[in-house]
Amino acid sequence: MAISRNRDLAGSLGQAVHTNQITLTGGLAITGVTSYSTKANLPGSYDSTNAGALGFTTDSDKLYVHTGQGWFNIAIVNTNPIWETQPAGSYTLASDATAYKNGTATTISLAARDSEGFPLTWSAVPNTAFNNMAHIAQDSSVFTIEPKSQDSAGQAVMPQGSVTFKASDGVNIISASSTFSLTFDATIANSQHTTVLAKASGNNAVNATFTDGSSNSHSVTVNGGARTTSFTPFHPGGYSTYFDGNDYLSLPDADASFNFANGDFTIESWIYPMDNVNYDTVACQVGTWAIEIYNTKLTIWLSTGTGGSWDILSNTHISDTPLALNEWVHFAFVRNGSSLKGYINGAETYSGTTSATIGNSSNAVQIGWYSGTYYWTGYIRDFRIVKGTAVYTAPFDPPTTALTAITNTTLLVQNVPCIKDKSSVGHTITETGAVEAGRLKHHRISPYKHEPYSAATHGVSYYSDGNGDYLSHNDIGMSGLNNFTCECWVYPLTFKAYANSVYSSGPSANLGSTFVYLGFTGDGTSCIFSNKSNNSTPIVSGSTADVKQNQWSHIAFVRDNNNGYIYVSTDLGISIFKGNFAKEQPVTKISVSPNPFIIGQHSSVTFSNLPSNSIIQIMSLSGRVMKEFSLTQQTILTDWNGKDDNGRFLNTGVYLVAAINTSNGEVGVTKLAVIRN
């Protein structure tokens, strides 16, 4: 039986679909048929000579045949719907729900079209993890996601869920999947009150196992009672500064930062008072403003002058409630126009007015001390001054995360983990206190709740009690003869009289040629000793208190050829100290090349095997000095061109070359022949 033309065409189109001849837009790629974007693009000039011509329109997936009189639709090819608005790949749901469907919803609006014009049916298929965290409702192609409360969800951090969104024209279906996350408070309950964290860290729960984390996987041997500990500079709770009642921070006056005049400003901080003695000072600029404890209450003092007249505010309580001891308190003192406000833990506790201009003091800003015995005892965290902005003008929730350098911040003192001004100004901060006591201490205590500690994320530290504890490893070529970089964070609990070793390698007896020692002295001065050193003189020496007791300090020791460097983190950046690894040579071993030196044939003379910090003199046989050089941190001189101090070439003859060691006065002499063509 003959097959009708329509059935034949339908069969051909079906075969095209079967062989996946589909365009990127969802249309059919017809072979042997001319494709047009729309029906309007079908040729209008066709006549009876074009009868039987086929045309396919990609916008509607319709097939047309020309009868000689016009175009007629003979078939529709059912293809997949086409996405116009797909769902995002992932969504983070709000965590503010406290009851059934009372949280912030997430709305997802989707769109798609069907080329054949059939209506689309929408659906969503969530997995179990999604159903555990949220409800989903649908209005056609709009889906509303309602997160559950933590009590209903059951966990602070919910496992990731997914939903597959689908659109169907009754035959073909398109789909797209999205993942959903829901995280409530993942911090540790009451972690802001933690003062002791007794937790061992290590490999396989054995906290005396150390591994080399580099790609070399060197063996590491534990000696004595060396252990790993979770006390690290990267702890999620951060560090606060402890003032013991005998130390303080100071920074030089700067009008741009601290001359409040009659403008807006905000002074705020977290404090943890451990006593309430009168005039215990949080911060001040002596004679102009001060925030202190008086009669157990937090008090503000303000002057129009700089001599402590306190004619704006005198002994004015920021709060009439006694300041709580041994717990964190957030305070803020704010000027907004003529309005003065005081806040304790976000609650407004003082209100006043003034039109006065605050004095412009040249005194230093001090944190933890006013004068005499008026020191602070306790912790201070995130001390911030914002000049030009009243940050708080109404009651507020106390900060739950570390303060940041918002617009107009002129001072932000933070432990990161060393003390630093994190404002854009970058003030120099000076610590004052007994070096022997470690000056200010950095303790693992915080007003903020924080995430759980993880050794993988926050690292571990090596702890030694200073009595026979150390780590050793197989030979890695780390010696005083090779280039190296050795860096680490250190937190010394005490200083030994001299040797506080970070790392050493090679035999120390007689300061062998491969010996190198990296560490710091009894006053915290960083140093490098090598085979060049004698028993009391390091080749590189830093400055007093590079490293401080009871504080984290970052330090790096470097050898680059004969140059030695020490890099120490400070509140302003990095301090760099330089020395020389080259072994001091007796001046009697001075070498001269070429010898004889032929002027016009040789470009220069090289003097080598010289002691650093030496003087080189080229003299006639009668003792007249013709040329003199002074060397600093050099053991070789390579660029003498044969000219005397007056710029004239030496005449042909024999000359004496004397090397004088300025460290010990030793003199060495050799001869040099000069030939002048």
Strand order in the sheet with 526-530: 500-505, 516-520, 526-530, 540-541
Unique residue bearing structure tokens 């937190």: 491
Instruction: Tell me which residues of the chain have a pLDDT lower than 50.
Output: 1-31, 196-200, 204-205, 435-438, 510
In the chain, what are the domains? 5-76 (no CATH), 82-181 (2.60.40.1080), 189-235+452-473 (no CATH), 240-443 (2.60.120.200), 475-580 (no CATH), 587-676 (2.60.40.1930)
Q: E strands, 303-454, where?
A: 313-317, 329-336, 339-344, 347-353, 365-367, 377-387, 409-415, 419-421, 430-432, 441-443
With left for phi above 0 and alpha for psi between -120 and 50, is residue 192 left, alpha or beta?
alpha
**What residues pair up with 203 in beta bridges, in sequence order?**
206
Task: Give me the pLDDT at residue 586, please.
Answer: 59
Burial letters 304-339, b for 16+ CB under 10 A, else e = bebebebebbeebbbbeeebeeeebbbbbbbbeeee
Q: Are 342 and 266 in contact (CB under 8 A)?
A: no
Task: Give me the pLDDT at residue 146, please.
Answer: 95
Task: Give me the pLDDT at residue 191, please.
Answer: 59
Task: Give me the pLDDT at residue 28, please.
Answer: 42
pTM recorded for the entire structure? 0.60
Q: Are 68 and 47 in contact (CB under 8 A)?
A: yes
Task: Provide CB contacts within 8 A for 206, sequence distance 6+.
Answer: none
- Terminal C-alpha separation, the chain: 117
> How is residue 464 written in tokens?
């030694």
Alpha carbons 75 and 54: distance in angstroms, whole number: 11
CA dihedral (182, 188, 193, 195) positive or negative: negative
Mean of the per-residue pLDDT values of the chain: 83
Torsions phi, psi for 457 (to 5 deg): -90, -40
Task: Give me the pLDDT at residue 118, please.
Answer: 83
Task: Give me the pLDDT at residue 539, please.
Answer: 78
Query: Which of 105, 109, 106, 107 has its CA nearest to residue 122?
Result: 109
Alpha carbons 53 and 68: distance in angstroms, whole number: 9
Task: Give me the pLDDT at residue 114, please.
Answer: 86
DSSP secondary structure of 85-134? EPPPSEEE------STT-S--EEEE-EEE-TT-PPPEEEEEE-HHHHHHE
Q: Are 552 and 491 in contact (CB under 8 A)?
A: yes
Q: Please tell me what DSSP assigns to residue 191.
A: G
Q: Are 134 and 144 in contact (CB under 8 A)?
A: no
Torsions phi, psi for 384 (to 5 deg): -130, 135
Alpha carbons 31 and 23: distance in angstroms, whole number: 12
Alpha carbons 443 and 463: distance in angstroms, whole number: 16
Alpha carbons 522 and 546: distance in angstroms, whole number: 11
> How is residue 149 written in tokens?
């409360």
